[in-house]
RNA sequence: UGGGGAGUAGCCAAGUGGUAAGGCAACGGACUUUGACUCCGUCAUUCGCAGGUUCGAUCCCUGCCUCCCCAGCCA
């Protein structure tokens, strides 16, 4: 059963303290993505944190698009982000856009100018960089720093009306060019950009910078706890400065936590976009991608991702979570949900020589032995079947429990068979096995005469239905050196393997996203893009654990 | 060599003056018509290092080491 309440973490402790002390009455959080890419599992951590922080104490959470940079943003992304948040089963209280506050932000900027706390600066980007100083030496004040309020007001108004070229002027806060915190060295508040915004069109020729816009957005929405990642930690003094100097009635507080990193993958929009643009993968929703869309298509469930997000915790130290933890949670979730079935990925034909030709038996099979509510089904059995190539070895090592000459195994849901003969082609490759079955060993008959060490799965040859299986491995092997700098050089060439095999006949017309556990292989999910009626395509979600190794 | 953060097991992560939670992984064993699942057991005499305060320190103090972030008109 899924825990109703999320695990404790330092931010939640702060929230609880604030509630207890009366510092806040109602908790309001927000998830503030910029619509410039698809969401990934790292965002899922943030989504779960923000929504559950509020949910657990009867608060509210807004989904807010931080769309202050029209050159990078796109409507496609605002759609996909909403879809992903909804899919994770979170309902936002308000759908907000930073662009809806552009007028208010402008007014606050004017207020700063009037207070003598902001000025229009004509320095070029390059000049500004040079005058900013370095980590160890102070910056120099801009020659435009002491323009009169009236001149600043006039210039800023004309920036707004589109009178000036991109990059020719900016509005800057007047703080402290000697601050050891570079963010406080007269940061840019507004830049000129004649780009077309996906929502406001060409109304604006100036757009606010993150450091100015974000605190105002939070304050406007009454956000109490503004949660972001570690790299914004030293922006906090500026965040507080903006809220205070702009005289915002609400005072949001910013808290920072460590973003999620996982082994064997990359977790930045930039890198993910590179994989998409260079066609290393099929798109943002390629099942190998750590995007929400990719994980969904792969077959991960919202529950598994939410449980994962809870269990990894929230802290301030940079860390790398083992991908096997994510895998654990999807196995755990699918265990009781996925229908058990038999699939042969690499077929080896077996003829049961003492089984009557032409005869077909319909055997009983549980749909999920661990969840009897899922019922049973009938599966056909006759003289010729397919088993997995891996389940036969002519010269097996010790402790090999499967088929080998002279050995007897159980066919799941059917009979014991013994391998009597191995048929090979001219090249010496095993192409067929001749076996004998024992009618007394039928499954469910209660036979206890003797035991076998191994049980293998199979599919009846004449009823087997052809299917495509897409097997995945990590996109990147990051146990090598230097992966971070040049991850494209460390791509796993085996990240995708497409093979043709067989499934039970009943799986001929599966629906997109249907989940199965193919015995002794793993959990599979029907691909929503590639699978068509009559031509099923299964994605490997995650394989079963196995302690067996040759 | 400025500023801001972080160091607890292989990986996450609680605890923050009273003698190291939990999860993942791993490894034993039991069970087994999935080499799965489940169950049982093992897995930090020690919390980056060195001093100090204290009856007692992962927790307080001092010094040091290591790692991450900051010099976009990105977010």
Q: If you average pLDDT over residues A41-68, what whole number do you get?
A: 98
C1' nearest to CA of A123: which nucleotide?
B73
In this predicted structure, the answer to whether residue A543 has a pLDDT above a threshold of 70 is yes
pLDDT digits (tens, 9 = 90+) for A297-329: 999 999 999 999 999 999 999 999 999 999 999
Residue A177: inside a domain, yes or no?
yes
Q: Looking at the domain assignment, is residue A300 inside a domain?
A: yes
Instruction: Give residue A83's pLDDT.
Output: 98
- Residue ending a domain, among A257, A283, A301, is A257
- Mark whether A206 and A282 lie in a shared domain: no
Q: Which CATH number goes with the domain that contains A485?
A: 1.10.1160.10
* Bridge partners for A87 per DSSP: none
pLDDT at A484 over 70: no
| Residues A453 and A478 both lie in one domain | no
Q: Which of A257, A280, A306 is the last residue of a domain?
A: A257
**Strand B: which bases are under 7 Å from protein Cβ?**
1-8, 10-15, 22-27, 33-38, 67-75
Shared-domain flag, residues A452 and A471: no
- Do A84 and A39 share a domain, yes or no? yes
Contact residues for A261 (Cβ-Cβ < 8 A; gap 6+): A42, A267, A318, A319, A320, A321
> Is 70 exceeded by the pLDDT of residue A515?
yes
How confident is the model over A400-427, as pLDDT tens digits?
A: 999 999 999 999 999 999 999 999 999 9
Asked if residue A41 has pLDDT above 50, the reply is yes
For residue A525, the enclosing domain spans 269-339+467-542
Task: Work out the mean pLDDT of chain A and round it to a whole number.
Answer: 96
Domain identity same for A28 and A51: yes
- Given a cut of 50, whether residue A227 has pLDDT beyond it is yes
Which 239-278 residues of chain A approach strand B with CB closer than 7 Å?
A: 258
pLDDT for A336-372, tens place per residue?
999 999 999 999 999 999 999 999 999 999 999 999 9
CATH assignment of the domain containing A228: 3.40.50.620
**Position A548 in a domain:** no
| Boundary-marking domain end, from A437, A457, A477 | A457
**Is the residue at A170 inside a domain?**
yes
Residue A265, pLDDT score: 95
Both A477 and A398 in a single domain?
no
- Does residue A251 have an active-site annotation? no
Residue A188 counted as domain residue: yes
Q: Output the distance from A92 CA to B64 C1' rounded to whole Å.
A: 48
pLDDT beyond 70 at A145: yes
The Cα–Cα gap between A289 and A266 comes to 9
Q: Domain for residue A522, yes or no?
A: yes
A147/A117 same-domain check: yes
Statement to judge: residues A38 and A60 lie in one domain = yes
- DSSP 8-state symbol, A161: T
Q: In total, how many domains does chain A have?
A: 3
pLDDT surpasses 90 at A2: no
**CA A329 – C1' B10 distance (Å)?**
20
CA-based diameter of chain A, in Å? Answer: 102
A330 and A213: one domain? no
**Is the pLDDT confidence value at A78 over 90?**
yes
CATH of the domain at A391: 2.40.240.10
Q: What's the Å distance between residue A309 CA and nucleotide B8 C1'? A: 21
- Look at residue A136 and tell me if it is in a domain: yes
Active site residue A259: yes
Tens digits of per-residue pLDDT, A98-111?
999 999 999 999 99
Handedness of CA A498, A337, A81, A31 (dihedral sign): negative
A220-224, A476-480, A543-547: the lowest-pLDDT one: A476-480
- What the block records as the tokens of A449 is 């005469």
Q: What is this model's ipTM?
A: 0.96
């Amino acid at each position: 059963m899924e825990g109703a309440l999320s695990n404790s973490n330092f931010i939640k402790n702060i929230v609880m303290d604030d509630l207890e002390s009366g510092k806040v009455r109602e908790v309001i959080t927000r998830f503030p993505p910029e619509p410039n890419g698809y969401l990934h599992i790292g965002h899922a951590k943030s989504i779960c944190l923000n929504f559950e922080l509020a949910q657990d104490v009867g608060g509210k959470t807004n989904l807010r698009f931080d769309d202050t940079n029209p050159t990078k943003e796109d409507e496609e992304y605002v759609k996909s982000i909403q879809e992903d948040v909804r899919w994770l089963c979170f309902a936002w209280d308000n759908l907000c856009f930073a662009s809806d506050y552009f007028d208010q932000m402008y007014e606050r900027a004017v207020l700063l100018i009037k207070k003598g706390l902001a000025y229009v600066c004509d320095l070029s980007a390059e000049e500004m960089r040079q005058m900013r100083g370095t980590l160890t030496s102070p910056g120099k004040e801009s020659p435009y720093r002491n323009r009169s309020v009236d001149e600043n007001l006039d210039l800023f108004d004309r920036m707004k009306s589109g009178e000036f070229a991109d990059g020719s002027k900016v509005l800057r806060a007047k703080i402290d060019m000697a601050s050891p915190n570079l963010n406080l060295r007269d940061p840019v508040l507004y830049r000129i950009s004649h780009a077309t915004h996906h929502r406001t069109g060409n109304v604006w020729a100036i757009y606010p910078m993150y450091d100015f816009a974000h605190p105002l957005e939070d304050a406007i929405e009454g956000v109490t706890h503004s949660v972001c990642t570690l790299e914004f930690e030293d922006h906090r003094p500026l965040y507080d400065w903006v809220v205070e100097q702009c005289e915002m009635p609400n005072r949001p507080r910013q808290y920072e936590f460590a973003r999620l990193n996982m082994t064997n993958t990359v977790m930045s929009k930039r890198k993910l976009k590179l994989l998409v643009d260079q066609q290393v993968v099929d798109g943002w929703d390629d099942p190998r991608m750590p995007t929400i869309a990719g994980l969904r298509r792969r077959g991960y469930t919202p529950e598994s991702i939410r449980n994962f997000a809870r269990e990894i915790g929230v802290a301030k130290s940079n860390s790398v979570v083992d991908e096997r933890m994510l895998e654990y949670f999807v196995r755990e979730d699918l265990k009781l949900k996925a229908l058990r079935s038999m699939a042969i990925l690499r077929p080896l034909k077996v003829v049961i020589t003492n089984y009557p030709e032409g005869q077909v038996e319909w055997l009983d099979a549980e749909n999920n032995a661990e969840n009897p509510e899922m019922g049973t089904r009938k599966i056909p059995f006759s003289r010729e079947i397919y088993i997995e190539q891996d389940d036969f070895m002519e010269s097996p090592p010790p402790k090999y429990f499967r088929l080998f000459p002279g050995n007897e195994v159980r066919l799941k849901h059917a009979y014991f068979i013994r391998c009597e003969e191995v048929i090979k082609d001219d090249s010496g490759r095993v192409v067929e096995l001749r076996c004998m079955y024992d009618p007394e060993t039928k499954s469910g008959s209660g036979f206890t005469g003797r035991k076998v060490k191994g049980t293998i799965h199979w599919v009846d040859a004449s009823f087997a239905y052809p299917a495509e299986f897409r097997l995945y491995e990590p996109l990147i092997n990051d146990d090598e050196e230097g992966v971070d700098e040049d991850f494209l050089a460390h791509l796993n060439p085996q990240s995708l393997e497409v093979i043709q095999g067989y499934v039970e006949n009943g799986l001929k017309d599966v629906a997109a996203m249907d989940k199965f556990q193919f015995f002794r292989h793993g959990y599979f999910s029907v691909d929503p893009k590639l699978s068509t009626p009559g031509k099923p395509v299964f994605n490997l979600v995650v394989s079963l654990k196995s302690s067996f190794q040759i």
